[in-house]
Amino acid sequence: MKALLFLLTALSAQAVEIIAHRGFSARAPENTLGAFQLAWENGTDACELDVYLTADGKTAVIHDKTTQRTTGKALEVAKSTQAQLTALGAGAWKDPAWIKEKIPTLEQALATLPKGKKRFFIELKCGAEIVPELKRLLEPRKAHADQLAIIAFKREAAAESKKALPWIQVYRLASGKTKQHTPTDLTQLIADTQADGLDGLDLSQADFAWDEAMVNQIRAAGFGLYVWTVNQPEAVQRFARLGVDGITTDDPVMAREALAEP
C-alpha cells in the first residue's frame, strides 16, 4: 500500500507543471535574466514573466507600472523607451550579488529558454496594444508552440492574443475578487473565456472556493487550469490533489520537493 501511494505521488509530481513566478523570485531579482536562468538550472518546468509595451512600441519585462521598486529610479514604463528601461539596474534591490542585472526585453528573456519541454508563460501587463509586437516576436517561434503560453487579466488583451496567435495557448488570469472588492463570478468568467476561444483559466489561490466542485465546473468547460502564487508546501500538495495542470510559485524547488513527498 505504501509503495502504491508513493507511486501515485510520484506520478502526480510529474503531471503538475511547476512555473517559476517571475523566474526564481524567491532567490533572485524578479523578471531578470538571472532569475530565469536560476529557475532553469533548478529544474523548473516553466517560467512566468511580465511584459509591457514601451513608448517606442517595443517590450520591457517588468511587473510594476513604474520602475521605482526594482530599480530605485522612477520611470513610468509605458511612457519610457525600451533603451531607457533596459539601461536600469534591476538586481541590487534584492542583493548586491545581482547588481549587474538589468530590465530585460522579451527577446532577451525568451533567449534563455532551454530546448525541450520547458516553456514561458508571458503575462501581458498592458492592453491589446501590445499584440502586434507580440505577434512579430513570437511568430518565428511557431514551430515551438508548446514552449509558449500567454496569460492576461484584461479580457481584450487575451482575446486579441488568441486571434493573432491561434497556435499559442492563451489563459485568462483572474483573482478571487474584482476591483470593486466583490467576489469574482466564476460562471461568468467561464462563459467569457469560452466566448473568446481561450484555452483555460489561471486563477489566484485566494478567495476562490477551490474545491472539487469548482475544479469540475472548470473542467466541464474543457479548460486547462492553473493556480498562482503558491508558496507553502501544504498548499502545493493540496492543489496537486485537486488536479490542477500547473502551480505558479516563487520557489520552484520547494514546490517540486513538496510534490515528491509521499
Which residues, in sequence order, are bridge partners of residue 19? 46, 248
36-56: per-residue pLDDT in tens?
A: 999 999 999 999 999 999 999
> Does the pLDDT of residue 111 top 70, yes or no?
yes
* Residue with grid cell 489561490, as numbered in its chain: 205
Which residues, in sequence order, are bridge partners of residue 174? 203
Give the pLDDT score at 8.
42
Give the pLDDT score at 10.
42
16-33: average pLDDT: 98
CB-based contact 202:151 (threshold 8 Å): yes
Give the pLDDT score at 9.
41
State the Cα–Cα distance between residues 225 and 227, nearest whole angstrom. Answer: 7
State the Cα–Cα distance between residues 39 and 195, nearest whole angstrom. Answer: 35
155-186: per-residue pLDDT in tens?
A: 999 999 999 999 999 999 999 988 888 999 99
Fold of 2-50+126-260: TIM Barrel (3.20.20)
Query: How high does pLDDT run on average in the chain?
Result: 94
Predicted TM-score of the model (pTM): 0.94
Residue 219 banded pLDDT, cuts 50, 70, 90: very high
